[in-house]
């Protein structure tokens, strides 16, 4: 008879097989009511799961991350059930959990409308109030295919056919509706109390543009109404901060169909972009990096040797020359940097060798995945590769980690989380090499004094990595920087150095990026700061405004003086009221507004206002320029106070 061991080490003995629900009830009625699922010997199971043997046991509630995922997955099923009741001819396909919510894809004869979404959400609420019991059953493969075909659910039948032969086929039912699913799910629909449908979009079946276009309904779900409302407020704030909207307001960039996934930078946007590069170039030079540039087009054979063709081939742009030679536009910079390292004989005395490049890379992304600057097909990486001996891994990794964290602070990101990603299922190199690489990165993390969480199986195909995750002003997380230890690619591409015994040795290559994608990092910056970039990054740092045309000559002279000191300053001589001009430049997020009337002209002064409306009083153009330069040189850490 089973003995159940609880997380605190205590045990419960039962004289017969018991369900998760019964164990929770034995512990206490409150826990039973809160139970969404169970964890038995580390595996997530339904509350109806029977425990027949001794087991480690825990109840999963909505306070557990797994509990929230179960709520969202179950709400996706609730969505599909509601759609089928309202639109019986619709076919259901897949409905996974995503960040902050879920979606479900449907095949239907016409587009769903906003009115349809409102009706579906109302039906979902009705089904949740009915508190329908959720049941699980296992079915033979052929029987399951026949069952779903009989329902007219041909997509489900196709999914079953693709499931590996040894996997169990499980079905979940609630009311009169049944879906194919691994589970687990909540015990009844009454557990689903706080959800909202957010939008509908197009999506190709299995993500392949050659397949039928489906309709994807997105939603969000939370344990209670309060958390749902807080999330919806965050979404509202995120919409206000959308970098695409800000980019338009500030005239920074645009995208168009003739170049999908590529950015048309306008003068002001390009100014910000180049400011990012200039900043990073300065930091890298101080850290001992040498800037290089590798070709964008290289023979496809090089990418086969590196392992990229096997791993990323379907996302690479390939082209054949008239002599039938196959080339690839680079999706990454690493193989090119190895070629530069290999050019000439290297001694151990030269190591570490630090290369950096602002390399333009191209990766094919499905059109449905493209999203402003966040997800593009052509982007620039602040890519760095450091060639070291194994003995140098720790010290160099510590230096890289500290540099990355210091750089993020300069951009206003104080809350940075670090994840450690170990070997993925699909990788190059043997386990012994991976053991050494993972041990080295863990030792470096310990030496740097950083804490990390495990992102299991998410390492690069050539080595383990640290992922640096920024939390922005409204609580969203963005994975940007990475540090990877690679004992595979240098050997595959024939890189070596001569050690102290005159023997050839393969170097370790540390891959590191701090911004990651400059385009994406700029989008994150725009949303984090709501477009109010620090003055050193702003495309226009100040505008000189005259009250009437009598100040025009003075305004132009001051503007020219400030420009000659390297400041990004414009003048506004339009025949508009000064209040109108101030409001307009405030909306453009210009950090400083310098107003000149007759009194200011007579005294050679400027009235200084900030974009937040703060009045900094009057000062001379020379004093303003001096104070602004202090702010710019300190990367915004010391704001000019007049």
Q: What is the DSSP string of 587-605?
A: HTT-SEEEEE-HHHHHHT-
Please report the pLDDT score of residue 642 as a whole number. Answer: 30
Please report the pLDDT score of residue 521 as a whole number. Answer: 96
Number of Cβ atoms within 10 Å of the Cβ of 34:
17
As a whole number of angstroms, the distance between CA 204 and CA 219 comes to 18
| β-bridge mates for residue 92, sequence order | 106
Please report the pLDDT score of residue 153 as a whole number. Answer: 87
Please report the pLDDT score of residue 379 as a whole number. Answer: 95
Alpha helices in 424-547 (DSSP H): 431-448, 489-492, 518-528
Residue 475 in this model has a pLDDT that exceeds 50:
yes
Residue 638 in this model has a pLDDT that exceeds 50:
no
Query: Could you give the residue numbers annotated as active site?
Result: 334, 363, 381, 383, 385, 465, 511
- Yes or no: say if 458 and 479 are a contact pair by the CB < 8 Å rule: no
Binned at pLDDT 50, 70 and 90, residue 58 comes out as very high
Binned at pLDDT 50, 70 and 90, residue 141 comes out as confident
Write the pLDDT tens digit of every residue in 346-401: 999 999 999 999 999 999 988 778 899 999 999 999 999 999 998 899 899 999 99
DSSP state, residue 175: T
Pair type for strands 55-60 and 3-5 = parallel
Please report the pLDDT score of residue 640 as a whole number. Answer: 36
Q: What is the mean pLDDT of residues 77-81?
A: 96
Binned at pLDDT 50, 70 and 90, residue 256 comes out as very high
Phi, psi angle pair for 364, to nearest 5°: -75, 120
Question: Side-chain half-sphere of 476: how many Cα atoms within 13 Å?
Answer: 19
Cα–Cα nearest to 448, from 380, 499, 413, 401: 401
Q: What is the mean pLDDT of residues 606-631?
A: 92
Please report the pLDDT score of residue 639 as a whole number. Answer: 40
Please report the pLDDT score of residue 423 as a whole number. Answer: 86
Residue 344 backbone class (left: φ over 0; alpha: ψ -120 to 50; beta: rest): left
Please report the pLDDT score of residue 84 as a whole number. Answer: 95
Alpha helices in 151-299 (DSSP H): 154-162, 225-240, 243-249, 267-286
Please report the pLDDT score of residue 219 as a whole number. Answer: 96
Please tell me the total number of residues recorded for the chain in this structure: 642
Lowest-confidence region among 96-105, 150-159, 321-330, 404-413: 150-159
Q: What is the mean pLDDT of residues 119-139?
A: 95
Q: pLDDT over 70 for what percent of the chain? A: 99
As a whole number of angstroms, the distance between CA 77 and CA 586 comes to 47
Please report the pLDDT score of residue 556 as a whole number. Answer: 96
Per-chain mean pLDDT for the chain: 91
Residues 6 or more apart in contact with residue 72 via CB below 8 angstroms: 97, 101, 102, 220, 221
Alpha helices in 163-242 (DSSP H): 225-240
Alpha helices in 506-641 (DSSP H): 518-528, 552-564, 578-587, 598-603, 621-633
As a whole number of angstroms, the distance between CA 608 and CA 597 comes to 12
As a whole number of angstroms, the distance between CA 337 and CA 329 comes to 15
As a whole number of angstroms, the distance between CA 482 and CA 478 comes to 12
- What are the structural domains of the chain? 3-61 (3.10.20.30), 66-240 (3.30.980.10), 270-292+331-528 (3.30.930.10), 542-633 (3.40.50.800)
As a whole number of angstroms, the distance between CA 437 and CA 421 comes to 12
Write the pLDDT tens digit of every residue in 206-219: 877 788 889 999 99
Please report the pLDDT score of residue 101 as a whole number. Answer: 94
Write the pLDDT tens digit of every residue in 522-550: 999 999 999 999 999 999 999 999 999 99
What's the whole-model pTM score? Answer: 0.80
Number of Cβ atoms within 10 Å of the Cβ of 59:
23
- Yes or no: say if 149 and 157 are a contact pair by the CB < 8 Å rule: yes
Binned at pLDDT 50, 70 and 90, residue 338 comes out as very high
Write the pLDDT tens digit of every residue in 177-188: 999 998 899 999
Number of Cβ atoms within 10 Å of the Cβ of 175:
13
Binned at pLDDT 50, 70 and 90, residue 443 comes out as confident
Write the pLDDT tens digit of every residue in 262-296: 999 999 999 999 999 999 999 999 999 999 999 99
- Yes or no: say if 544 and 593 are a contact pair by the CB < 8 Å rule: no
- Yes or no: say if 467 and 494 are a contact pair by the CB < 8 Å rule: no
- Yes or no: say if 427 and 547 are a contact pair by the CB < 8 Å rule: no
Q: In degrees, to the nearest 5, what angle opens at C-alpha 450 toward C-alphas 444 and 454? A: 85
Please report the pLDDT score of residue 457 as a whole number. Answer: 84
End-to-end CA distance of the chain: 79
Question: Side-chain half-sphere of 384: how many Cα atoms within 13 Å?
Answer: 32
Question: Side-chain half-sphere of 582: how many Cα atoms within 13 Å?
Answer: 18
Cα–Cα nearest to 400, from 452, 465, 350, 495: 465
Q: In degrees, to the nearest 5, what angle opens at C-alpha 360 toward C-alphas 356 and 361? A: 110
Binned at pLDDT 50, 70 and 90, residue 200 comes out as very high
Please report the pLDDT score of residue 202 as a whole number. Answer: 87
């Amino acid at each position: 008879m089973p003995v159940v061991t609880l997380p605190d080490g205590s045990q419960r003995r039962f004289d017969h097989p018991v369900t998760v629900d019964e164990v929770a009830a034995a512990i206490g009625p409150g826990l039973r009511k809160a139970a969404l699922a169970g964890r038995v010997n580390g595996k997530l199971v339904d509350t109806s799961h029977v425990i027949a043997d001794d087991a480690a046991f825990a109840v999963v509630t909505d306070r557990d991350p797994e509990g929230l995922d179960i709520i969202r997955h179950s709400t996706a099923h609730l969505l599909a059930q509601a759609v089928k009741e309202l639109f019986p001819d619709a076919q259901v396909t897949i409905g996974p959990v995503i960040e902050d919510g879920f979606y479900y894809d449907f095949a239907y004869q016409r587009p769903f409308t906003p009115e349809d979404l409102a009706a579906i959400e109302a039906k979902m609420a009705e089904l949740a109030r009915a508190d329908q019991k959720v049941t699980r059953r296992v079915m033979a493969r052929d029987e399951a295919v026949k069952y779903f075909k009989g329902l007219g659910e041909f997509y489900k039948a196709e999914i079953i056919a693709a499931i590996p032969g040894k996997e169990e086929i499980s079905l979940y039912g609630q009311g009169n509706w049944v879906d194919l699913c691994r589970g687990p799910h909540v015990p009844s629909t009454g557990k689903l109390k706080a959800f909202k449908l957010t939008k509908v979009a197009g999506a190709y079946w299995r993500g392949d543009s050659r397949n039928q276009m489906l309709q994807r309904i997105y939603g969000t779900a939370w344990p209670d109404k309060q958390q749902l409302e807080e999330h919806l407020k965050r979404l509202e704030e995120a919409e206000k901060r959308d970098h695409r909207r800000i980019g338009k307001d500030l005239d920074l960039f645009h995208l168009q169909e003739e170049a999908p996934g590529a950015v048309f930078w306008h003068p002001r946007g390009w100014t910000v972009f180049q400011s990012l590069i200039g900043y990073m170039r300065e930091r890298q030079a101080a850290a001992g990096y040498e800037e290089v540039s590798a070709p964008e087009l290289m023979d496809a054979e090089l990418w086969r040797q590196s392992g990229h063709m096997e791993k990323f081939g379907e996302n690479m742009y390939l082209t054949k020359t008239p002599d039938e030679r196959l080339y690839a536009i680079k999706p990454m910079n690493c193989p090119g940097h190895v070629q530069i390292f290999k050019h000439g004989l290297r001694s151990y005395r030269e190591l570490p060798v630090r290369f950096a490049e602002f390399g333009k890379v191209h990766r094919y992304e499905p059109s449905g995945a493209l999203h402003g600057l966040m997800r593009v097909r052509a982007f620039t990486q602040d890519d760095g590769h450091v060639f070291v001996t194994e003995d140098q891994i720790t010290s160099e990794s510590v230096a890289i980690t500290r540099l990355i964290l210091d750089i993020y602070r300069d951009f206003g990101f104080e809350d940075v989380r670090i994840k450690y990603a170990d070997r993925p299922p699909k990788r190059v190199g043997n386990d012994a090499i991976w053991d050494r690489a993972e041990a080295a990165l863990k030792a470096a993390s310990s030496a740097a004094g950083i804490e990390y969480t495990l992102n299991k199986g998410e390492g690069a195909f050539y080595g383990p990595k640290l992922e640096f995750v920024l939390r922005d002003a409204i609580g969203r997380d963005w994975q940007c920087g990475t540090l990877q230890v690679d004992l595979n690619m240098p050997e595959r591409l024939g890189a070596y150095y001569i050690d102290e015994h005159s023997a050839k040795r393969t170097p370790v290559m540390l891959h590191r990026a701090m911004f990651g994608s400059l385009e994406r990092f700029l989008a994150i910056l725009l949303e984090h700061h709501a477009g109010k970039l620090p003055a050193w990054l702003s495309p226009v740092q100040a505008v000189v405004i005259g009250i009437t045309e009598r100040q025009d000559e003075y305004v132009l002279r001051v503007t020219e003086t400030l420009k000659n000191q390297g400041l990004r300053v414009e003048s506004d001589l339009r025949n508009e009221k000064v209040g109108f001009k101030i409001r307009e430049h405030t909306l453009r997020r210009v950090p400083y507004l310098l107003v000149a009337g007759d009194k200011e002209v007579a005294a050679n002064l400027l009235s200084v206002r900030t974009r937040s409306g703060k009045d900094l009083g009057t000062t001379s153009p020379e004093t303003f320029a001096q104070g602004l330069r202090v702010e710019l040189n300190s990367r915004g850490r010391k704001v000019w106070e007049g």
